């Protein structure tokens, strides 16, 4: 009797344990390894310190589902990187990346401490618009740049593309303090469509920091890393592709400093009311980030749907700060096996802390220290056949791949609800840090509760934002 009862209890325990395990570590269908083209990656490092943006005009145009297309533009003279070798370029990128993450965390902490309600702005009719997206390496920044026309007549300039910002701005004459940019500084008096905003306008009231002088709205944006911009808040005509859009709120910065060297200003693609998607009244946009060591271009498109074959994830919002795009991530797998990490590692709490955002401006994906340690250890377990190398800056898992042409490395994939999975190409997480064959695992730990999916992991994938349906889509090889 007891034997029979014990047997039944034992079977019940096994069944219960199996159910719990399957919820925490679901079975997945993915390859355990993927191929890294070492030789090609090293070749690109040798080209990265010498390419010029004016090579763009020799390339063919991109097919696009958008009804407007912006042609590729050459530049009379574009300076190359100021770094003599790829190692120093890498260290400079990582230094800027640390400053970037610091600025995002400062912004979030400020919002949690003192959130400011804003009112709905008047926006334009929805349109489908497209602009080119270019790696910012030659521009003196680690960010990505888009080419837009400002004013009437339109003057085309390169502006930093940033999903972590809402306020659009550019440097304006006269300059009290301006950094060096590769094109002449914008002169508001030369544009017939430039109009300063008064202090009682919805646009001015939507600013987090604003002042009023002679009934004119003044703006100021500080990024937490020492970068800042301040000046008049105005409306201006933006020409994006073949479409001209009037009355876009933009900061006309007369005092600017920081890490934006080379660009004329910044184009905010965040989720706030002053960001470009909101001002265009578009319910969707997408971008594809080109290889950081490439002189090729892709596009940023507005008003286009997420493809039906895209890997889809929930788009979540933080009630304390509507700028950032949070992602419904459920887990990470390495070598085809799910990491044993708590589900709460990627969840946002009631105070607006935690969670994971996707960001175009951060280079290297940041994970909570415990999550990163699990990923690193699983990856290292699958690379015991590779020669180890000393760590570089924030990278603690590096390898000497000199003399190798291709290698197999453990696969890495992001997992989302409903069994959706985004497998990363090996080149998006094993990256070269010099020209002699040192490669590092391109993830980093953070002591913050906020995790960030950076642009290195997004390269070569079109990332689509369906704002109306709260979805993010990932489409590989659709740049």
DSSP string, 38-91: HHHHHHHHHHTTT--GGGGGGSPPPP-SSS--PPP---S-----S-SSHHHHHH
Catalytic residue among 232, 293, 359, 466: 359
Assess whether 200 carries a catalytic annotation: no
Backbone angles phi, psi at 332, to 5 degrees: -135, 140
State the pairing for strand pair 438-441/337-338: unpaired
- Is residue 244 within 8 A of residue 154, CB to CB? The reply is yes
Query: Sign of the C-alpha dihedral, residues 470, 476, 478, 479?
Result: positive
> Do residues 33 and 73 lie in contact, with contact meaning Cβ atoms separated by under 8 Å?
no
| Catalytic residue selected from 162, 166, 293, 295 | 162
Distance between CA 391 and CA 154 in Å, rounded?
Answer: 47
Q: How many CB atoms lie within 10 A of CB 34?
A: 21
What are the residues facing 332 on neighbouring strands? 414
Indicate if 349 belongs to the active site.
no
Q: How far is CA 191 from the centre of its chain?
A: 32
Q: Reduced to 3 states, what is the DSSP secondary structure of residue 125? A: coil
Please give the structure tokens belonging to residue 118: 């804003």
Q: How far is CA 469 from CA 16, 108, 111, 440, in A?
A: 36, 24, 25, 37
Residue 478, classed as helix, strand or coil, is: coil
Helix or strand (DSSP H, E) at 256: strand 243-257
- Name residues whose C-beta falls within 8 Å of residue 388's C-beta, 6 or more positions apart in sequence: 398, 399, 400
The alpha-helical segments, DSSP class H, found in 230-291 are 276-279
Catalytic residues: 162, 359
């Amino acid at each position: 009797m007891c034997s029979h009862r014990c047997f039944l209890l034992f079977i019940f325990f096994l069944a219960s344990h199996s159910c719990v395990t399957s919820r925490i570590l679901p079975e997945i269908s993915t390859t355990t390894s993927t191929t890294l083209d070492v030789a090609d990656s090293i070749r690109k490092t040798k080209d990265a310190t010498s390419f010029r943006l004016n090579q763009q005009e020799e390339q063919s145009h991109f097919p696009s589902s958008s009804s407007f297309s912006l042609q590729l533009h050459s530049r009379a003279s574009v300076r190359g990187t100021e770094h003599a070798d790829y190692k120093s370029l890498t260290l400079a990128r990582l230094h800027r990346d640390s400053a970037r993450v610091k600025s995002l965390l400062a912004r979030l902490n400020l919002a949690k401490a003192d959130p400011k309600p804003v009112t709905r702005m008047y926006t334009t009719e929805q349109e489908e618009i497209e602009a080119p997206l270019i790696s910012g390496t030659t521009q003196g920044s680690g960010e990505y740049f888009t080419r837009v026309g400002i004013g009437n007549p339109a003057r085309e300039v390169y502006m930093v593309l940033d999903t972590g910002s809402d306020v659009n701005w550019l440097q304006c004459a006269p300059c009290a303090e301006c950094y060096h940019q590769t094109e002449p500084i914008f002169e508001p008096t030369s544009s017939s469509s430039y109009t300063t905003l008064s202090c009682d306008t919805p646009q001015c009231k939507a600013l987090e920091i604003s002042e009023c002088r002679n009934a004119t709205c003044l703006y100021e944006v500080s990024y937490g890393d020492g970068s800042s911009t301040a000046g008049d808040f105005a409306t201006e005509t933006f020409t994006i592709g073949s479409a001209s859009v009037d009355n876009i709120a933009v900061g006309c910065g007369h005092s600017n400093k920081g890490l934006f060297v080379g660009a004329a200003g910044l184009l905010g693609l965040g989720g706030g009311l002053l960001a470009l998607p909101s001002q265009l009244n578009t319910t969707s946009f997408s971008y594809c980030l080109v290889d950081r060591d490439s002189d090729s271009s892709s596009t940023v498109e507005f008003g286009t749907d997420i493809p039906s074959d895209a890997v889809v994830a929930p788009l979540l919002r933080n009630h304390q700060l509507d700028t950032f795009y949070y992602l419904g991530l459920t887990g990470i797998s390495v070598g085809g096996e799910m990491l044993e990490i708590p589900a709460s590692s990627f969840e946002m709490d009631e105070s607006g802390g935690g969670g994971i955002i996707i960001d175009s401006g951060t280079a290297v994906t940041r994970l909570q220290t415990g999550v990163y340690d699990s990923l690193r250890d699983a990856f290292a377990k699958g690379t015991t056949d590779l020669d180890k190398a000393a760590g570089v800056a924030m990278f603690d898992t590096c390898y000497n791949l000199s003399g190798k042409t291709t290698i197999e490395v453990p696969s890495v994939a992001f997992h989302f609800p409903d069994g959706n999975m985004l497998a990363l190409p090996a080149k998006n997480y094993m990256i070269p840090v010099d020209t002699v064959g040192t490669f590092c695992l391109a993830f980093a730990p953070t002591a913050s509760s906020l995790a960030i999916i950076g642009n290195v992991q997004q390269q070569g994938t079109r990332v689509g934002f369906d704002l109306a349906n709260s979805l993010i889509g990932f489409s590989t090889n659709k740049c």
